[in-house]
Amino acid sequence: MTDSKLVDKAGTIRAGEELDLEVLKQYLEPVLGSKAHALTLKQFPGGFSNLTYLLSSGEDKWVLRRPPFGSKVKSAHDMSREFKILSALKKVFAYGPTPVHFCDDHSILGCDFYLMNYIEGLVIRREYPAGLNLSPDDIREQLFNFFDVLSELHSVDLVAAGLDTFGRPQGYVQRQVEGWCKRWVDAITPDTANCDNTMQWLMDNMPAESGKASVIHNDYKMDNVIFSLENPKQVIGVLDWEMATVGDPLMDLGCTLGYWVETGDPEFFRAYRNMPSDVEGAPTRREIIARFQERTGLSVDNFPFYFCFGLFRLAVIGQQIYYRYYHGLTQDERFKMMVTKTRILQQMCELVMADKVKL
């Protein structure tokens, strides 16, 4: 059994991200009953996008999700979308949190937000926590399990989930490329990278649709997954569903592998990884693709495109975050470094386009 000290703990609320607890107590009384009167509030660490808080009342715990302060990119922080897809998935996918309540009354917190159940477990961020003591074989099994859950999501029966009319799967690849290119243009600051070559390459190398429409998470990475404390190789929860939709699963795989740094990658890229994918035992991108093809029956024939798209998309997200900091819309000093990460991701895109990265 893993030490409970490794549980992702909520703590002090960051400056500028406070919530009015008294207003919340009054609002949530019809939802939580008398438990609302004794609510306490903490904030989970990490994350550069949506904000996540822990609400506690005695032994009962819930998680509150809301968009970041100062963001005007509603499509990237759609709480209603997240709530709807979790409500649909709870009957067909074992890993989503159970949604409890959605609020679109902006007089409460100034934004949409929702409550879901709290899943206690292990969240792995940039490094494996000290004391976890997984062997290379354990790590390999754990990370293959991590990708198997993504394959399981892509295999969900859309009709059984009631999601067959959710999203617009036809033309998904083209819309994604065009949409993220537009977001980049809208978020440019004078001190950021030039992504013109990458945007043109993605337009010129766009593959046909895979032919399969699946539920896709759109931000599947290790710190959006909860592992079991009893068996840390086992996934027990998947978080952060605000960008989920129905679309091409190969694009979802590319988005996840945009985060995937392996031992043979350039040092500048490895230095900015956000999960421990380049440790001994971790599978390579090629091994992950082979496993994904075996599990889903889908062929990944144009992986450089999907990988480059995943990298570029992360560059856009980083630039959107930095844009808020640059224009004084947030006080979070962590956002200052995002412009550097955006440049790093663009450098990696250049290497992929020049066929200089091992895939």
Ranges of each domain in the chain? 4-117, 136-353
Dist CA 35 CA 29 (whole Å)? 7
What pLDDT score was predicted for residue 113? 96
Dist CA 151 CA 133 (whole Å)? 27
**CATH 3.40.190.290, domain 136-353, yes or no:** no
What pLDDT score was predicted for residue 4? 60
Q: Is 343 helix (H, G, I), strand (E, B) or coil?
A: helix
Q: Is 133 helix (H, G, I), strand (E, B) or coil?
A: coil
Fold of 4-117: Phosphorylase Kinase; domain 1 (3.30.200)
Question: How many C-beta atoms lie closer than 10 Å to residue 211's C-beta?
Answer: 9
Largest CA distance in the chain: 61
Predicted confidence pLDDT, tens digits, the chain (359 residues): 555 667 778 899 998 899 999 999 999 999 999 999 999 999 998 666 789 999 999 999 999 999 988 655 555 568 998 999 999 999 999 999 999 999 999 999 999 999 999 999 999 999 999 889 999 999 999 999 999 999 999 999 999 999 999 989 999 999 999 999 999 999 999 999 999 999 999 999 999 888 899 999 999 999 999 999 999 999 999 998 988 999 999 999 999 999 999 999 999 999 989 999 999 999 999 999 999 999 999 999 899 999 999 999 999 999 999 999 999 988 788 889 999 999 999 999 999 999 999 88
**Residue 235 CA: distances (Å) to CA of 112, 122, 143, 145, 302:** 29, 9, 10, 7, 29
What pLDDT score was predicted for residue 94? 95
Q: How many residues does the chain have?
A: 359
What pLDDT score was predicted for residue 251? 97
pTM: 0.90
What pLDDT score was predicted for residue 2? 56
